[in-house]
Amino acid sequence: MIPQVRILLADDDEKERERLEGILEGQDYAIKTSRNGKLALFDAIEFHPHVIIINTSLPKMDGYEVLGHIRSNPLLQNIPVIVYTAQSGNTRKAMDLGADDVLVKPFTEKEFIRSVSTRLMRYQKQNSAHPQKGHEVDTDVFASYYHEFNTLLHGILGGTNLLINGSGKYSAQQTQELLFSVLKSGLRLNHSLSNLLLLEEIKRADINPQLISMFTNGLSEKGWTNKIDGELRHMAVEMYNRPDDIDIQLQDIAVRIKYEYMLRIFIEVTDNALKFSRSGQRVSVTGAAEGEDYVITIKDHGKSFPSNNLDGIAPYKQLSAKKYDHSGLGIGLYLAKRLVTFNFGEMTVESKAGEGSVFTVRLPLLKFA
């Protein structure tokens, strides 16, 4: 028996959960149990099991929905999933959604152990056949780094040189404009470097699932809204010189996501809204509890987003770069989307030509986790 094999078991029936947990513990597996579908998703991210076992009849999110989320999440999609159900007619549905095996109740202890053991052997064979490899920076990516950083450094060095060598030649207004240009380039460089570091951390987590918990452990406690309000207004002023263009209304309630990643989501999506709109065009940022989710809406009245879905967002791919000629590595929205996905949220966009774009982010409230 391979030590430290981790099994996640999701069932709201305490008696059945304890029965199956006892069988698994008898095989020396490390077991984590979840009492509802939403908890199962959170536990899968944090525990990163070798096998996931799900009852189809789960509260808050049934087993089929859980299975669908697992198969669509790049961090979980390769983990074997065993589904068990009291309805034999649901076997095809579970298999179509990507279940590796379906057990119909009542099933014997021997059938249960055999199913788990088979899934483990296949999973281990698959991993040994495809060893994890590190990632390398290719030529195109390096060119993106160089162009972005060189452009920003040029703005800092060029502006500083003009101020030093042109002492006394510029009016107070011209000097102020030069200082603002230098500050803007410096802030944008810091932003790009911060994004690059976060992207590398995400890549490491994609390769080493043990690191996933760094993105999922934590919460934004009450009081976070004032800090984010200040950060967004600070960005609007110092990076865009648009203090009067941003409206912010956020309900203060605990949300199940680490504060630094909540902030990063707000920063990236709001930065995108300010970047693709002009001075005088309003950008509204709202957030409020809605059912079991905290819903964030960021709306601008600028240039429309290229499509009404986020599937095309990827690192170093600026969807509108050729058309609008904006600087950046093209990874901000990708990072926001990944952080939302890590925490089992949803991020969507609606856009119409001449009307701007509306980004909507849904994240689970702490009290419903």
- What pLDDT is attached to residue 181? 86
**pLDDT level of residue 129 (50, 70, 90 thresholds):** low
Alpha helices in the chain, H assignment, sequence order: 14-25, 37-47, 63-72, 91-96, 109-129, 139-165, 172-207, 213-216, 224-238, 259-275, 321-324, 332-342
Across 302-312, average pLDDT: 71
Distances (CA, A) of 132 to 59, 206, 214: 36, 10, 20
Considering only residues 125 and 192, tell me which one the structure prediction assigns the higher pLDDT. Answer: 192
Q: Are strands 283-290 and 51-55 parallel, antiparallel or unpaired?
A: unpaired
Residue pair 48/212 in contact by the 8 Å Cβ criterion: yes
Give the range among 15-19, 26-30, 34-38, 211-215 with minimum mean pLDDT: 211-215
What's the mean per-residue pLDDT of the chain? 84
- What pLDDT is attached to residue 323? 41
pLDDT tens readout for residues 146-172: 667 777 887 888 888 888 887 777 888
**pLDDT level of residue 367 (50, 70, 90 thresholds):** low
Across 57-86, average pLDDT: 88
Rounded to whole angstroms, the Cα distance separating 189 from 194 reads 8
Rounded to whole angstroms, the Cα distance separating 290 from 254 reads 13
- What pLDDT is attached to residue 254? 93
> SS3 of 247, please?
strand
Rounded to whole angstroms, the Cα distance separating 262 from 235 reads 16
Helices (H) then strands (E): counts for the chain: 12, 10
- What pLDDT is attached to residue 283? 97
- What pLDDT is attached to residue 136? 47
- What pLDDT is attached to residue 318? 53
Q: For residue 22, is pLDDT > 80? A: yes
Considering only residues 51 and 4, tell me which one the structure prediction assigns the higher pLDDT. Answer: 51
- What pLDDT is attached to residue 133? 46
Across 29-43, average pLDDT: 90
**pLDDT level of residue 304 (50, 70, 90 thresholds):** confident
Across 34-46, average pLDDT: 87
Fold for domain 6-129? Rossmann fold (3.40.50)
Distances (CA, A) of 35 to 13, 23, 225, 232, 342: 8, 18, 31, 38, 20
Residue in the structure block whose two tokens are 């281990």: 124
| Top-level class of domain 139-368 | alpha beta
Residue pair 52/58 in contact by the 8 Å Cβ criterion: no
Q: For residue 200, is pLDDT > 70? A: yes
| Domain locations in the chain as residue ranges | 6-129, 139-368
Task: List % helix, strand, coil for the chain (3-state, nearest 5).
Answer: 50, 15, 35
Q: Are strands 30-34 and 6-10 parallel, antiparallel or unpaired?
A: parallel
pLDDT tens readout for residues 89-116: 778 888 888 888 999 999 999 999 999 9
Distances (CA, A) of 91 to 100, 122, 238, 307, 316: 11, 21, 57, 37, 42
- What pLDDT is attached to residue 24? 93
Tell which residue, 289, 252, 270, has the closest CA to residue 365.
289
**pLDDT level of residue 299 (50, 70, 90 thresholds):** very high
Residue in the structure block whose two tokens are 């999922």: 216
Percent of the chain with pLDDT over 90: 42
- What does pTM read for this prediction? 0.70
> SS3 of 293, please?
strand
Neighbours of 280 (CB within 10 A): 9
